[in-house]
Structure 1
Amino acid sequence: MLSVDFEKYERLLKAVASMSRLYSDSSSPYLNSRFVEKLFVYTSTAKDFSRRDMSFDAQTELGAGVGVKTFVANSFRTTKTEKVAEFTADATRGEFKGLPNDELAYKVATFRNARVSSDARIYEIDMEKSFYHCLVRAADGCLIHEEPYSLIDVDNLKLESRLDAPGNPKFSDGINNYTFSLSKNTLFKTFDLQRYQNSKVIEVTLIDDIFERLLHGAFGLADFVSPTNFNEPEDAASAAVLPHVILPLYSTRTKQVAARSGINQWNAEGREREFGEAYIPHPKEVRRRYPNFFPPKDETFTLRLPDGSQMSAKVCQQDGKAIMSNPNSLLCDWLFRMIDDSPAVSKARMATGRAYTMEDLLRVGRDSVKISLVDEAKRIYELEPMPTGSFDTFLSSTALPDDESD
């Protein structure tokens, strides 16, 4: 059984695909990937995650994570290799440098699993139910292909050949086939259209004279553009961007995770500590640029998590250098769940004194968080994890106040 209302999906798809000549001369329908993501969300009543920088594009009402893809194939009885992950930041750090293909494949698979698992924990996604929703386009028609979205079984990883060019391993885990391209820093997965679940073929008629049809009133365009009915829309893209800051989970001075403060405050010396004591650093660079983004120090606000739950939080410590929740453990549970594979792994850190390190953040591909202002009057903010390097990018895109810049 497909995950969407197929009748509604088919009608909308046909209407939009019929206008492909606006963009392409190909015999295959042209459909923008963002449209396919929106179409899936609309016809499945799923949550839209496609604008979040994470492993899934949507989440169904039953908790399944969904990877939405669209691609062209020569036929509906073939295989197609498509991008499923990118590792540019890791490659830039030299994580893959000089590795033989078997070690390279294993490391890429391990990184991929860590990031997918982290996102699944953060957004409470059920990996057992997760799947890829693929809209496959071929000559004059489309087909929905759905198959499981699973972690890579690293214990059964095997190279397809020892003769592959260095940096370009093709490998399998016994269930799926993958290719990694070091030159593109990209992991590709092979989708087999003869396995799992397919819809019937959706036949699409491309309108050859689409420009003329539109000018003469097709789809009600003539009425829409008449001076009496036309209201210039708001810039939807800019309206959708909430005021926000990005905060690092590491020290901006050392570029490392502080061993006894920040997310490792539970590891601090002095008084007896409890596991769960931690805070998100609120560095001076952000405080100077956005002095009024948060309420004043020690005044509470609501912080909403990606799963919809919320907590009371505040700016605290000397000079307002920390964001903490009340109770402190709520925020920490979320942070530690993002990094560690299980609560048991997190709690074992206290017993062994094994503090979080930059390597832990790099493994899951998250080294910062984004806090957005949702409702200023009610003091509601929203928290989400951000990919490695996001804080530096954010900082470089913002200017110091006039009296502090050179």
Structure 2
Amino acid sequence: MALFRNQPPIKQNTYLKNIENIAKLSGLFSSESAAPFLVSRATENIFEESLGAKNLGRDDTAIDAILDNVGIGIKTFLHGKGHTLQKVAEFNRDSTKYRNLSKEEMILIISKLRNERLQFAIDNYNVADLIYHCITRKPDGTINFYEAPMNFINTDKISNIKLKQNSISFQDDLNEYSFNLTKSTLYKRFPFRNNDYLVASISVKMFKNPFSVLNSMLSQYTYSSETESNTTSTEPEYIVLPLYSYSKSAGKFIAERSGLNQWNANGRKRDPNEIYIPVSRKIHDKFPDFFPNRDTPFSLHLPNGDKLKAKISQSGDKALMSNPNKALGGWLLRDILHLPEEKLLTYSKLSDLGIDAVKIEKNAETDYSIDFCEAGTYDHFANEYNL
């Protein structure tokens, strides 16, 4: 497909011009390379701003943006000889799943984990296709833009598995890969020797003294404190909720009769989709005004664009639930995790996808959004806020 070329010409030109302008300032970030330098986060923001894409702005999913119902992985790297290996996934937290196995067994597990994460991106964001938008840079100042398919690994066609010191190379019927054993990182070869995937190209002349240029531009503007809010709020725009429980003896685990397995609780017969996301007392104490009062309804926007009715409920305000209650479980357990009904959710299942928490973003007083977070995100959030 040619997603970029299908965009209005004015948006295409704006995008290319913005990339060119930021590349002219390459000397701000790197003075050693003759090729233009681009910060990956900057290219994602430019892609969003120029083309009107949804910027996911996160590191725990296979895609960085969504445009025209297509999930897009945005990558920037040196062009080299046009067939370089580039990182596409990390599996540091999954090493116990494949450690000490044969190279064939190891590659099969890595391939399945990769495919599960791609399927997660499709399900979570309800996109019809996945592609890479690659920006390659050459020493002569040329920047090329390519669109390539983001393929699932065909596990039935894996071949040519070779152990090479600290990596294992392999291929399927479409692509070549390499798995770095030390870094637990999967690399894919991008075949950009010819123009098969080329969608645009620009030539950049970098500023010899970008600091002088930047100072000259900024000197035209006067900072005014009136543009900033005079009030300082301690209330965060979002919080992170773990999807797991924790104990010193068991580590991270999902309780069998509460939380995401509430359907399995003792007592009355429950719907197999009945769940809640635990909200600890520490969260309420630290951020007392983040959620509405108990049983006050609010909107909860899902990553796929759907919206649920939700509320904080149960004794101690310990539960984030939907109304009807089965709606949240139908989305999380069935649509996203593809868990069969009446099968217990385990932490291992979340680990396979590289997630174990959700981010709840506050848009307005009774309007919130939810999305999944990379495994370990809650640990960082808890440390930041001393939870």
TM-score (norm: length of structure 1) = 0.83
1:90 aligned partner: 94
1:114 aligned partner: 116
Which residue of the other structure, out of 374, 382, 385, is the alignment partner of 1:395?
A: 382
Which residue of the other structure, out of 227, 231, 236, is the alignment partner of 2:224?
A: 231
Q: Which amino acid aligns with 1:103?
A: E
* Distance in 2 separating the partners of 1:383 and 1:149: 25
Kindly state the Cα deviation for residue 145 of structure 1 after the two structures are TM-superposed. 1.3
Kindly state the Cα deviation for residue 119 of structure 1 after the two structures are TM-superposed. 2.2
Q: Is the 2:60–2:373 contact (alpha carbons within 8 Å) kept by the matching residues of 1? A: yes
Q: Is the 2:176–2:189 contact (alpha carbons within 8 Å) kept by the matching residues of 1? A: yes
Q: Is the 1:159–1:169 contact (alpha carbons within 8 Å) kept by the matching residues of 2? A: no
Which residue of the other structure, out of 244, 252, 259, is the alignment partner of 2:246?
A: 252
* Distance in 1 separating the partners of 2:106 and 2:259: 33
Q: Which amino acid aligns with 1:367?
A: D
Which residue of the other structure, out of 7, 12, 15, is the alignment partner of 2:13?
A: 7
Q: Could you tell me the percent identity over the aligned residues?
A: 33
* Distance in 2 separating the partners of 1:212 and 1:248: 47
Q: Is the 1:66–1:131 contact (alpha carbons within 8 Å) kept by the matching residues of 2? A: yes
2:186 aligned partner: 187
Q: Which amino acid aligns with 1:68?
A: I
Kindly state the Cα deviation for residue 52 of structure 1 after the two structures are TM-superposed. 5.9
Say which is worse superposed, 363-372 or 9-18, in terms of deviation: 9-18
Which residue of the other structure, out of 64, 73, 88, is the alignment partner of 1:67?
A: 73
Q: Is the 2:168–2:180 contact (alpha carbons within 8 Å) kept by the matching residues of 1? A: yes
Q: Which amino acid aligns with 2:121?
A: D
Q: Is the 1:102–1:169 contact (alpha carbons within 8 Å) kept by the matching residues of 2? A: no
Q: Is the 2:104–2:161 contact (alpha carbons within 8 Å) kept by the matching residues of 1? A: no
Which residue of the other structure, out of 354, 357, 368, is the alignment partner of 1:368?
A: 357
Kindly state the Cα deviation for residue 280 of structure 1 after the two structures are TM-superposed. 0.9
Task: Identify if the C-alpha distance between structure 1 residues 59 and 337 changes in structure 2 by more than 3 Å, giving closer, same or farther.
Answer: farther
Task: Identify if the C-alpha distance between structure 1 residues 52 and 187 changes in structure 2 by more than 3 Å, giving closer, same or farther.
Answer: closer
Q: Is the 2:60–2:354 contact (alpha carbons within 8 Å) kept by the matching residues of 1? A: no
Matched position secondary structure for 2:97: coil
Task: Identify if the C-alpha distance between structure 1 residues 367 and 11 changes in structure 2 by more than 3 Å, giving closer, same or farther.
Answer: closer
Q: Is the 1:366–1:387 contact (alpha carbons within 8 Å) kept by the matching residues of 2? A: yes
Task: Identify if the C-alpha distance between structure 1 residues 90 and 201 changes in structure 2 by more than 3 Å, giving closer, same or farther.
Answer: same
Cα RMSD of the aligned pairs, angstroms, is 2.6
Which residue of the other structure, out of 307, 312, 317, is the alignment partner of 2:314?
A: 317
2:323 aligned partner: 326
Is 1:282 aligned to residue 268 of structure 2? no
* Distance in 2 separating the partners of 1:398 and 1:296: 22
* Distance in 1 separating the partners of 2:380 and 2:218: 41
Which residue of the other structure, out of 264, 274, 295, is the alignment partner of 2:292?
A: 295
Q: Which amino acid aligns with 2:28?
A: L
Q: Is the 1:18–1:29 contact (alpha carbons within 8 Å) kept by the matching residues of 2? A: yes
Q: Which amino acid aligns with 1:149?
A: M
* Distance in 2 separating the partners of 1:214 and 1:302: 44
Matched position secondary structure for 1:360: helix
Kindly state the Cα deviation for residue 43 of structure 1 after the two structures are TM-superposed. 3.3
Q: Is the 1:339–1:361 contact (alpha carbons within 8 Å) kept by the matching residues of 2? A: no
Matched position secondary structure for 1:84: strand
1:44 aligned partner: 51
| 1:367-392 CA distance string (max 9 Å, x none) | 2212122213xx22221111222223
Is 1:155 aligned to residue 149 of structure 2? no
Q: Is the 2:274–2:328 contact (alpha carbons within 8 Å) kept by the matching residues of 1? A: no
Kindly state the Cα deviation for residue 24 of structure 1 after the two structures are TM-superposed. 3.0
Q: Which sections of structure 1, spanning at least 5 residues, go unmatched?
A: 401-406
Which residue of the other structure, out of 10, 14, 24, is the alignment partner of 1:18?
A: 24
| 1:38-77 CA distance string (max 9 Å, x none) | 222233321111236322110012x1100000001235xx
Kindly state the Cα deviation for residue 357 of structure 1 after the two structures are TM-superposed. 1.4
Which residue of the other structure, out of 349, 352, 364, is the alignment partner of 2:341?
A: 349
Kindly state the Cα deviation for residue 120 of structure 1 after the two structures are TM-superposed. 1.6
1:173 aligned partner: 172
Q: Which amino acid aligns with 2:79?
A: A
* Distance in 2 separating the partners of 1:102 and 1:286: 45
Is 1:32 aligned to residue 39 of structure 2? yes
